[in-house]
Amino acid sequence: MTRISTLAALAAATSFASTPVMAQETSEASEASGGAAVETMVEETVAVAEAASVSEAPAVPEPSYKLAADGSVCELHVWPTENYIGINTGLLSGFGIVGALADQAAHKNRVATVKDLMKDYLGPEVQMEELNKLGINETLKLDGYKIIVQEPTPFNEDAKNDPELKAKIKAMNKTVKDKKRLTDSTAPCYAELTTTHIFYHKAMMYGSNLFTGWIYREFDGDKQTKVGKGQVKNPLEYFPPKTEEDIEKAQIELRDAYAKDFAEYVEKKVFKQKR
């Protein structure tokens, strides 16, 4: 029963209680009896409504995860990145600033660099949106693995003045080199997808491209059984935008190029298929 019908039932019960009784039923006993009847009716109506409300609530299905032999859930750990790189190898090298975007709210009172724009348009959350839209598990052929998102890999330039961050990056690189897991997870079936960088490159002869680098590793217990490292690229036309009219096109284009990078990376670097 819906809330509206519940209120209607309550209103009807209240109306019944306020209706004058017949002249000959004016004793205190009759009034007490009528009041008790109305109270019982209201309580029963509310109880029925609450039961219906519970039964009508849609059940939320439990995720269907792949299980290891010991019953534990298989895991895929994913690291997006905050490591943005921009290089211009044209005759007049160097990006400088993107003056057309100086008035954007995200960069009020200052102009935006290419790295700023990559961070705005393709931040860690956006990266995960694109990967999920594409289907991380399906693309990597890991159907049923539970996806666990880790802290983004850091901007390498920040490590120059941060010894602690520099040590953290060094430790991660050593762990990968030693073929060990980056997490403390003990799941028997376990995989990692680490985004190492997002790289905008503009060259006079080759135009503008978005490169994305990843490291993918699979484990059977403590043993690394598969690894795919490298980067791929896809062309860009509107990024970085030169006019206000190009901003939306540049945002969509950058996201699309990132998604294409991932699909091609898996095909070429993980499954080693050549086009």
CB distance 73 to 67 below 8 Å: yes
Average pLDDT over residues 61-82: 86
- pLDDT score, position 128: 98
- pLDDT score, position 248: 94
Domain boundaries, the chain: 3-56, 75-270
Cα–Cα dist 212/18, whole Å:
74
- pLDDT score, position 13: 40
| Residue ranges with strand state E in the chain | 75-79, 84-88, 146-149, 189-203, 207-220, 223-236
Q: Which of the pair, 101 or 85, is modelled with greater confidence?
A: 85
Burial of 46 (0-12, 13-18, 19+ CB in 10 A): middle
- pLDDT score, position 173: 95
Cα–Cα dist 216/266, whole Å:
9
Q: Answer positive or negative: Cα dihedral of 138, 140, 186, 130.
A: negative
Of 86-100, 118-132, 170-184, 200-214, minimum mean pLDDT range: 86-100
Given a cut of 70, whether residue 44 has pLDDT beyond it is no
Cα–Cα dist 134/201, whole Å:
24
- What are the angstrom distances between the C-alpha of 233 and each of 128, 236, 244, 262? 18, 10, 26, 9
Cα–Cα dist 112/210, whole Å:
18
11 CB neighbour count, 10 Å cutoff = 10
Given a cut of 60, whether residue 36 has pLDDT beyond it is no
Angle at 115 between CA 120 and CA 161, to 5 degrees: 115
- pLDDT score, position 27: 43
Given a cut of 60, whether residue 2 has pLDDT beyond it is no
Given a cut of 90, whether residue 96 has pLDDT beyond it is no
Given a cut of 80, whether residue 63 has pLDDT beyond it is no
Given a cut of 90, whether residue 98 has pLDDT beyond it is no
Q: What is the pTM of this model?
A: 0.71
Tens digit of each residue's pLDDT (9 = 90 or more) over 155-183: 999 999 999 999 999 999 999 999 999 99
Burial of 206 (0-12, 13-18, 19+ CB in 10 A): exposed
| Band (64; pLDDT cuts 50, 70, 90) | confident
CB distance 14 to 35 below 8 Å: no
| Band (228; pLDDT cuts 50, 70, 90) | very high
- pLDDT score, position 68: 80
SS3 161: helix
Cα–Cα dist 206/65, whole Å:
44
Beta bridge partners of 195: 214
| Band (56; pLDDT cuts 50, 70, 90) | low
Cα–Cα dist 110/174, whole Å:
39
Given a cut of 60, whether residue 49 has pLDDT beyond it is no
- Tell me the two tokens of residue 138: 């399906």
